[in-house]
Chains A and B, each alone.
Chain A
Amino acid sequence: MRNIFAMGRLRTPEADPCGPYDWAKSIDPKQFANMEELLPTRIRLVLWSLLTIEAVKSCECRIGHNRGLADLRPYRHTDLTIALPCHIIDQLWVHPPSLSVNMAVGSTGAANGCLGCEMMEAEQEELNMIQEAENSSSDEDSTVELGNMPPVPATPAPWPILEVAPHTTPQLVHTLKHESSVLTLVVGDDSIFAGTQNGEILVWSLGDFQPVHRIQAHKRSVMCLFLSDDRSLLFSSASDPIVNVWCPKTMNRLYEIYSTNDSFGDIFSVAYSSRHETVYYGAQNTSIQWVCLKDLERRVSNDSASHPDRRNHRFFDSRAIGGTSTPRPTDERYDLIPRPHTVLETDKRANKMFAHYGYVYCMLITNGATAYTNPEDDVLISGGGDGTIKAWKLGGKEIGPDGFETGLEEIMVLGEGDANSVMSLSVDGSFLYSGKLDGVIELWDLDTKQKLRVIKAHKGDVMSIQMGWGYLWSAARSGTVSKHSTAHYGKYESETSQDVSQKYQCLTQWKAHDGKILSSAVTTYDDKELFISGANDSNVAVWLLPSQLSPEQPISHQNEDMMITSLREFVSYKTVSSRVEYAEDCRRGASFLRSLFRKLGGDVEMLSADDKLHHPVVLARFSGKAPIEQRKRIMFYGHYDVVPADTRKGKWENDPFQLTGLNGYLYGRGVSDNKGPIMAALYAVTDLMQAKSLDSDIVFLIEGQEESGSRGFKETIRKYKECIGHIDYILLANSYWLDDETPCLTYGLRGVMHATVCVESKNPDLHSGVDGSFMVNEPLSDLMMLLAKLKGPKNRVMLPGFYDGILPLKAEEEARYDDILSVLMEKGKGRDGVSAETLKANLLARWREPNLTHHKVKVSGPDGSLISSHANAKISVRLVPGQKVEEVTSSLTSFLEQEFENLDSDNKLSIEIDDQAEPWLGDPGSYIFRTMEDAVLKAWDPFFARRSSLCNSTTADVANPPSSTERPGNGASAKLCRPLYIREGGSIPAIRFLEKEFNAPAAHLPCGQASDSAHLVNERLRVLNLTKSREIFRYVFQKL
């Protein structure tokens, strides 16, 4: 008893009307009045199940007037103890409304702080105490005193002290969009299966929401999907009316099941009993039919004449006057339905007509739920359009000599045929929940056949209900989802009905879809609790629920989500560096980064240039565990600023500053450039730290001006060079693949120099007619003449010595281009009419040749016939390795000045250099690139494996000599065994600067795909690319 100095057993006072969860009213406020100063305001409550000795619920709550008690709710209502660490409370009275819940206010003495151990120790004693309490509370007094506990006030406190915090609306993690209504959903181990109106079954993976399969499964709407309990078989029923059985992994069609009974309408529901290996399906004409998968007698050939596709129908194949009959409706989609391995014809006798007096809308298989059968027997429960629920005893494939009774035997009818259709069912122990029309949910006890509770949960029909984590989730036609508290079935049957009256409150309700929700599923995947809803707005929405379980779980389990969560918040900062009005947002974005780095264990500093004009550079250091002298220091360079997003109507599908998951992609401004990759790198570091395998120091250098020319970056870095320290490798991830499939590594970037050339007259703006003459040197004319000198025929740049330093094309470099071409020229890439040579020349010109561009010419004065007093032009030069930006700058300046002199003009020339960036060329053979390559190969292993197998088969199949697009004599050219090494025509000012400044090699990992639309509307990043990038960085940070 050392750990518990207060506990008690409380009973509801007779007249106490206090509602469920209103724990507050039963707490004496006076007890807390003087405790507030003594105690931390936040305490943690852990609810323990005495039966299983495990923490079933834990929550933080705050003590004091009107502060919230979060989510404190018994998991198993009969077996509850609430334990509180001692240093917090001496008296906390919790008054569960109706049950004798045992409450222990535990004192752990703060000795070891492990509540779990304490509880284990305490449990036995506690049980003894309960016994005592029960004995001593035999009188009908409403409260019982124990030990030194003060009496619970008989009248509840007039104001609440502990309030139930509102349940938060789940986070919409991802939307999966399709073309037609989603009628049914099931969720497997790692995939979501959806059945649609146009007869397709769609399969997405749960991890990254990538589409896995898309199968034309039926001719018409798929009405129901059912996954066998061992998840080895997937059943689908439709309005065909056919039942199909699929392998959920491969989506091979294992069985096709049809019935010879004519015109029985849509098959609304299907269920499978593994025990009997029998499929049951319920149809529109009130029947339930069944067939045993293993019954050899039911097998027929694939072209059986009694198949609905072939058998004759009195009406539909009848002839009109003149002898023609209406042809069967066809559709090209029908040909896509895969051929089944086995066809089963349902026995005519295996048909329970009038199973309900309405459509058989829903079915499920359960066992041990009712005392009317043996616990291990499978029971089929069906819900009908007539409003009744029936339980059926199953007889497997046996059919009695007199026909039909053995296969399906009615053992229970719940409800009257009041036409309030049962649309959905869910079982929890012996409790059966049924979702009905007009938003009604009914709760039945399968042991007593009693209706325990009716809940009006929604405005529209309840189309789907699920049990998950002790809550009841209902989804309705009105598009809303509700979460309700439940009274889990316990062992004290007599008390359930009493308790039930206090349960089933709606805890939270949210609008999940614009259309009607038709289906839902719950699952725990990768320790995330997900609610998935499908609706007739053609969307499947995946909702991440705030964890229902203990937050005590190890932090590593929460990481996968944290990356997305952090990215979501990161994207929400409008860090547009080019616009003054967003300056504050940029600062806030930087602060966010600072606190995030700090939270994850980094050592953070904000680096600002002296002028304070520029957004700060965020510097974060994560220390490795290797001895300091052997420790490598790896720098990750990125930028937190983004380009503006044009939010004018209709341009963006979603708010660009709100991360939106859709069909496996994350949408938002900056998600690909460059916020997503920063998060991938950051969480790669976190992963390594948690695995205790981070050897090197990782230095994050995240600037805030990249999109506006990295102004002030150099100065800031130079200023803080000491602080940053020595660097061994530089990594960045700020570009995209060449296409959408092939992983790439970027090893080269062009440099850039932006300049403004201005010619000024000493005169003001003049009238061209009044003042214009050959005596007047016009600034614009001078400027045009100058600009014209810069480029010659074939766009050759006329600066002297401009092309001198450019590196020649080496054989190994050319081989890389051939690799790229082999990928780009593949079939189906839509390179209409462009030959490989053109494409290659195009790439060479963009990536390894310099160019000069005239951007814009501006003149003074209004429009009209006048001579501007000054004119300026913006020009830029893209530079390639071998060219030095300073040399080109001075060459350009002197060239223009010389040419201007030749004009002999009395105007004034000025040249202003706006931005400069050195070209960068990495060495693909270097250690850093080889490490990156290994990492990419490892992360994208499935891609490379698939490709090589593909290539082997195609090269074997192709008998024709290689076409001109392939390198002659090299049959394996299309085979790709490493990422593509690419260069880019664009520039990142910082990369070469950092290389030079820290004398460390840099490497560049493109994270996104070509279709990412960076800088454009609907910028996005594939979830898969994000997680793979994280893997790659993890590997690289570890190996370098």
Chain B
Amino acid sequence: MCRFLVYRGSDEILLSKLILDPTHSILKQSFDSRLRLDTRRGQNNADGFGIGFYTDPKLGAAPCLFTSTIPAWNCTNLHRIASKTASRLVFAHVRATTEGSLTEDNCHPFYHGSLMWMHNGGLGGWKYIKRRLGERLHDKWYLNVQGCTDSEWAFALFLDRLERLGTDPSSQPKKGFGPAVLRRAMLQTIEIINELTMGIPESTVESENVDTRSLLNFAVTDGHSIICTRYVSSKTDEAASLYFSSGTQWELKPSAGEDRDYQMERRDKGADIVLVASEPLTFERENWVNVPTNSILTIHGQTVMVNPIIDAFSDRDPCHRRSSAFAQTKGLTTNEKATPRVNSPVSTPGPEPETHRRILSPIIPPGMGTIDAPPVILRGRTLLSKSETSSSDIRSVVDPLTHRPEVASRLPSQGNIKKKRRSLNIGEYPHPAEFTEPDVQTPPSPVQAPSRTGDYVTAEKAARVLGMAL
């Protein structure tokens, strides 16, 4: 899936300092993404990119957008533009399609008036909620959708919510809409997406093996305030990674030599520069702060605020652990480590590609409209916890095999996981590679099914009762 980057500064920054130059700039992330374990097409985010930035207010409140479907590293125009353009507020996005075709209409960021929107993740059970979502929208927003991605529909939903909150999203106010209303609209957007996915009839979930969990890392701005979320609609899974960094200067390290890289300098306690990114842009580990799972980040002025999103999927226990597996199945990685690694730092950072493919491919959701996704075979339900053990814990000294029974037995108590189920898609054929692995464990689905149903009901109720609030 995708990577995104947000810059907000008290001063303008040359786009190349963000997009091209840093060691792990978003351009480099487009072919060397470290926190993406979806190896279907290597570590590439090659399905286009987009940058959006705000210009001098004299030119209007709307952002300038530049999107393209060619891989970012191949785009000469991007290099030309980035090294001669400066802005105080920049969105950048590189794309690996999961939803929607490869057209410029589907490239992030999306915009309307002065508002700009990016998404990294996916809506749970998208094809089962798309129509419901559409029905919820005012015609104006329904008809406004140009492309065919779930991200853009989410933006439409956001605009609809914003309007219902008494604001005209098209009004392009001089000083912005203010962070409060943007945040409320964002929370309502998430709430409705949750509502919609919960509304998928249980029978459908059961029979078509629908995964109702959403990964909702959104970023929205009106040119003044920025709202970012890191969210997963699950209590036991981690959201896709999101980091931020703030400081007084984003400059090349003064030390000469080969490892010259950008770093965030702290000359004072202020935050003249704020960066939010799916993956850190540099390897200066002290610079990058983990955005906590299920929280909402507000940048207003040069102040950063982080609020938890409290709903049925939140947990305030600092020891609460979430599983990275789900995000990984979506080709993303979470910030947190699943278990502390005891052994040496030279341990393999990711699973062997073979193992990885073996575990992940079966649970890539079908029917997500991924044009170029390889055909995959149904293997029944793969235990989420199993894939966690196999994928993220493979680096630990703990033998994953010895853990499996225990994890499996813990499953029923895992609250509201909505396990994605797959239906056999007629016409899809197994990938040849899959046939060579007869030893992949297939959990006994009939046994587990009832307990999962129970979980689902509980979770649904909980979410509705608690609602969502800050």
Contacts and interface: CB of A to CB of B under 8 A. Distances in A.
Interface string A804-847: 00000000000000000000000000000000000000000000
Nearest to B344: A312
Interface stretch (B52-60, B67-75, B261-269, B412-420): B261-269
Interface stretch (A217-225, A898-906, A992-1000): A217-225
Contacts of A385: 303-305
Contact of B317 (A263, A403, A417): A403
B283 A284 contact: no
B280 interface: yes
B349 A319 contact: yes
A421 B318 contact: no
A263 B335 contact: yes
B310 to A, nearest CB: 10
A421 B303 contact: yes
Nearest to B284: A329
B191 interface: no
Interface string A217-235: 0011101000000000000
Interface stretch (A114-122, A303-311, A752-760, A769-777): A303-311
Interface in B224-253: 241, 243, 245-246, 253
B266 A266 contact: yes
Given A262-B290, A321-B42, A314 B337 contact: yes
B125 interface: no
A1020 interface: no
The 8 closest A-B pairs by CB, nearest first: A265-B289, A221-B266, A263-B290, A318-B349, A318-B34, A326-B283, A181-B267, A351-B318
Contact of B303 (A310, A312, A321, A419): A419
Interface in A300-353: 305-306, 308, 310-321, 325-329, 331, 348-349, 351-353
Contact of B318 (A315, A325, A348): A348
Contacts of A317: 345, 349
B69 to A, nearest CB: 23
B400 interface: no
Given A306-B340, A316-B285, A329-B284, A268 B269 contact: yes
A263 B288 contact: yes
8 contacts: A314-B35, A314-B335, A318-B35, A348-B318, A353-B318, A419-B301, A419-B303, A437-B303
Interface residue SS majority, chain B: loop
A352 B292 CA distance: 13
Interface string B251-276: 00101000101010111111100000
Contact of A403 (B280, B298, B318): B318
B266 A223 contact: yes
B34 A183 contact: no
Nearest to B298: A419
A421 B287 CA distance: 21
Nearest to A316: B285
A780 B279 CA distance: 85
Contacts of B283: 316, 326, 328-329
Contact of A320 (B34, B255, B340): B34
Contacts of A516: 268, 270
B348 A319 contact: yes
B147 interface: no
A305 B285 contact: no
Interface string A509-543: 00000001010000000000000000010000000
Residue with the greatest number of chain B CB neighbours at <10 A, chosen from A219, A305, A352: A305
Nearest to B303: A419
Nearest to A287: B318
Contacts of A183: 266-269
Interface string A271-313: 0000000000000111000000000000000000110101111
Contact of B349 (A308, A325, A477): A325
B167 to A, nearest CB: 19
Contacts of A417: 305, 307
Contacts of A223: 266, 269
Contacts of A221: 265-267
Contacts of A404: 317-318
A423 interface: yes
Contact of B266 (A239, A263, A329, A402): A239
Nearest to B320: A403
B350 A285 contact: no
Given A181-B267, A263-B290, A314-B333, A305 B342 contact: yes
A358 B284 CA distance: 22
A617 to B, nearest CB: 54
Contacts of B245: 265
Given A260-B340, A348-B319, A239 B350 contact: no
A180 B292 CA distance: 33
Nearest to B291: A285
Interface string B342-366: 1011011110000000000000000
B270 A262 contact: no
A361 B243 contact: no
Given A264-B289, A310-B345, 17 more contacts: A197-B267, A220-B286, A223-B269, A241-B286, A262-B337, A263-B243, A284-B246, A286-B306, A314-B337, A318-B35, A326-B23, A328-B285, A385-B304, A386-B303, A419-B300, A421-B303, A437-B301
Residue with the greatest number of chain A CB neighbours at <10 A, chosen from B179, B318, B344: B318
A386 B300 CA distance: 10
Given A183-B268, A223-B266, A329-B284, A284 B289 contact: yes
A372 interface: no
B308 to A, nearest CB: 5
Given A223-B269, A319-B348, A320-B32, A240 B303 contact: no
A927 interface: no
Contacts of A260: 340
B350 A262 contact: no
Nearest to B246: A284
A185 interface: no
A357 interface: yes
B289 A285 contact: yes
Given A310-B345, A317-B345, A518 B268 contact: yes
Contact of B292 (A285, A361, A477): A285
B21 interface: no
A331 B261 CA distance: 13
A201 to B, nearest CB: 15
A922 B122 CA distance: 94
Interface in B314-350: 316-319, 333, 335-337, 340-342, 344-345, 347-350
Nearest to A265: B289
Contacts of B246: 284
Nearest to B43: A321
Residue with the greatest number of chain A CB neighbours at <10 A, chosen from B246, B286, B295: B286
A720 interface: no
Contacts of A461: 270
A329 B337 contact: no
A266 B348 CA distance: 28
A200 to B, nearest CB: 14
Contact of B306 (A262, A285, A308, A361): A285
Nearest to B335: A263
Nearest to B261: A329
Interface string A418-442: 0111010000000000000100000
B266 A219 contact: no
A354 B318 contact: no
A152 B317 CA distance: 66
Given A315-B279, A329-B259, A419-B301, A239 B286 contact: yes
Contacts of B307: 354, 357, 417
A482 to B, nearest CB: 19
A466 B306 CA distance: 29
A1007 interface: no
Contacts of A315: 34-35, 241, 279-280, 333, 335
Contact of B304 (A220, A314, A359): A359
Contact of A349 (B23, B319, B337, B350): B319
